[in-house]
Amino acid sequence: MSTFPKLIVVLGTNASGKSGLGVRLAERYGGEIVSADSRQVFRGLDLGSGKITPEEMRGVPHHLIDVCEPGAFFSMHDFQRLAYAAIDGIIARGRPPFLVGGTGLYVASVTEGYVMSDNPPDLEYRDYLETFETPELYRMLLQAVPDTDVEPKNRNRVMRLLEKLHAGDDHVPHSQPRYDCLKLGVTWDRETLKRRIDERLERRLDAGMIEEVKGLMDAGVSLEFLMKLGLEYRFIAQYLTGEIPLKADMVEQLGNAIKKFAKRQMTWFRRDGNIVWLDMTGDPFAQACGEIDRFLSK
């Protein structure tokens, strides 16, 4: 039996409904939610990041939303540090913590307990690395570490290791878990998920997502920052700057990109054999409650 504090995780792909399910579960168990989304930490990135609204929170306390100004540097290390503090605070209040989100690395940094170096990032060197395509970055890493087991297409991880080598950091990555985790997975079959993505995208566009990005640009948020955010912010910024001339083309390209991203999310999560995947065609809330009841009673 684990002596670690218990943490309930609700993870899944874009447009899967994980945020709404997380709220219902936190309501049911009197818990609080820590968001695990790499873009929702930024203020003003609301429609584009699919950020939950105050009304949708239904009074459930949420943490790690709107904790950083757009354009500022925010790393996985920053997320982990703030997430640990939020989760420990929830536990100290005698309430169950829920980690809810779809950024796989952010989720894993907490559930696996990644031990990371405290060395500050070299932003100039990072900007230099950004000028290379991912295959070239991977070749650079192979030259330095021929036996690396990093996935060639994992750009963020490849860049981070190159940064560590550049800084002379010989820190050996390892994990030191802090919580006993129940991981609940939320997704749909491919065709249903595609439809949900299209419908969600249309709703957010109707709600003013293009205007949101224009407002960020008018407020001085750099095009470079928006492009690094990817997906909605990248494609809408390209439309607003004329790189994609037609709105219809932008929407089509964006929809396809979101679907490809959801596929990559699933590839990441499927590697974790400890995730309990909920049957979204049945009663996922009841199924999740059954899993949580057993987990909390152990």
Q: pLDDT, tens digit, for every residue of 218-276?
A: 999 999 999 989 999 999 999 999 999 999 999 999 999 999 999 999 988 998 999 99
63: helix, coil or strand? strand
Backbone φ and ψ of 210, nearest 5°: -65, -40
The predicted structure's pLDDT at residue 66: 98
Q: What is the mean pLDDT of residues 23-32?
A: 98
In eight-state DSSP terms, residue 221 is: -
> Out of 25-39, 66-80, 137-151, 205-219, which region has the weakest mean confidence (pLDDT)?
137-151
Tokens encoding 285? 């809330």
The predicted structure's pLDDT at residue 126: 81
State the distance between the two ends of the chain, measured CA to CA, in whole angstroms.
8
244: left (phi over 0), alpha (psi -120 to 50) or beta: beta
Dihedral of the CA atoms 277, 280, 285, 286 (nearest 10)? -80
Q: pLDDT, tens digit, for every residue of 126-175?
A: 888 888 999 999 999 888 888 787 888 888 888 888 887 887 765 555 78
How distant, in Å, are the alpha carbons of 207, 239, 249, 257, 281 from that of 245? 21, 6, 8, 17, 40
Q: What percent of the chain has pLDDT over 70?
A: 96
pTM to 2 decimal places: 0.86
> Out of 29-38, 116-125, 238-247, 260-269, which region has the weakest mean confidence (pLDDT)?
116-125
Q: Are 34 and 212 in contact (CB under 8 A)?
A: no
- Judging by DSSP bridges, how do beta strands 114-115 and 174-175 pair with one another? antiparallel
For the chain, what is the total number of helices (H) and then of strands (E)?
13, 8
The predicted structure's pLDDT at residue 118: 67
Q: What is the mean pLDDT of residues 212-219?
A: 98
- Judging by DSSP bridges, how do beta strands 6-12 and 180-186 pair with one another? parallel
Backbone φ and ψ of 177, nearest 5°: -60, 145
Pairwise CA distance, residues 48 & 26, whole Å:
24
The predicted structure's pLDDT at residue 121: 67
